[in-house]
Amino acid sequence: MRPSTTQIQQRVRGESVPVTVVEPPPGGSGGGGHDVLFLHGYARHPLDYRLVLEEAAERGWRIVAPFLFANNGLRTPPRHFWSCAALAARTVEALNREGVLSAGAPVFGHSTGGAVSYTLARLDEAPSAILAINPVQPSSSASVAFMARSAWMNTKMFTGLSGDGPTARAVLAEGAGRFYRNWLRRPAPAFQLIGGLRAFRYERLARWIRGGGGHDVPVRVLYGCGDEFYPDHGGIEAGLRDAFSRVSLEVLAEENSHEWLLFRPRQTVDALEAFLVGSD
């Protein structure tokens, strides 16, 4: 049997946040049905990562993935990094209260979601572990350049130039279509968020975490070297060590895209599983 995927709506302080839940098939091994939170990248719907989330569910993990940033279906979409962090924290707290997500569940995130994952360590029920995949980093890149790279990347996906095999290409093309529909629904806040992501700074993250606890949560970063948006990983480990006491960085020389996990679901979940099991 295959994993089952459902879509629910979670009320979060007047917002209705779409949440994708991927359940493991009966008898799935590995994760034992334990919850894992997934936070997506900029303007990507969790279903864009379907192959990754289903691979994790096949191994027994139950994945809970809200659609947050830039979700132009929200009444008030987040427009900078710290409003993304606030929305994520409120959503996790609501999911915990409603029993959709186990309190203290580990989190893995990509890009925007990767960096936002760090901030959840400040929650009263902090995640037991944080895995960030090619997370947002401090950047001075112009918003127009960012959007041009993103548009080219999604155009390749939409036209079938990315992905190995027909299933992967179909999933990527569908995701690119979702990206464009969401972005064009309300371009202004989506474009503002591109500039607002530059508000992420390791110094502020360290003050945020150290000011409220959570610095002992284990953090691991997977970084594919061919990142079109953040080509230098030199400051990641040092920056995070000001906030967290347990930090590790793995540089993946063979991965040549910011969104490499979309093309490598099995390798991504191998790394996630190894980290979560090792963090128990």
Of the candidates 106, 86, 36, the one whose C-alpha atom is nearest the C-alpha of residue 65 is: 36
CATH code of the domain containing 204 = 3.40.50.1820
**Kind plus residue range of the DSSP H or E element containing 11:** strand 4-12
> b/e string for 8-26 if b means 16 or more Cβ within 10 A?
eebebeebebbbbbbebee
What are the backbone dihedrals phi and psi of residue 222, each rounded to the nearest 5 degrees, phi first?
A: -105, 125
Domain count, the chain: 1
For position 125, what pLDDT does the model report?
94
Q: What is the residue-level pLDDT of the chain in tens, covering all 280 positions?
A: 889 999 999 999 999 999 999 999 987 666 567 999 999 999 999 999 999 999 999 999 999 999 999 999 999 999 999 999 999 999 999 999 999 999 999 999 999 999 999 999 999 999 999 999 999 999 767 788 888 888 888 888 888 888 778 888 899 999 999 999 999 999 999 999 999 998 899 999 999 998 877 789 999 999 999 898 998 898 999 999 999 999 999 999 999 899 999 999 999 999 999 999 876 6
Structural domain boundaries enclosing 132: 4-138+190-279
C-alpha to C-alpha distance for 114 and 86, rounded to whole angstroms: 14
For position 152, what pLDDT does the model report?
87
- Report if residue 178 sits inside a domain: no
For position 32, what pLDDT does the model report?
63
- Report if residue 159 sits inside a domain: no
- Report if residue 177 sits inside a domain: no
**C-beta separation of 119 from 205 below 8 A:** yes
- Report if residue 143 sits inside a domain: no
For position 109, what pLDDT does the model report?
98
- Report if residue 266 sits inside a domain: yes
- Report if residue 94 sits inside a domain: yes
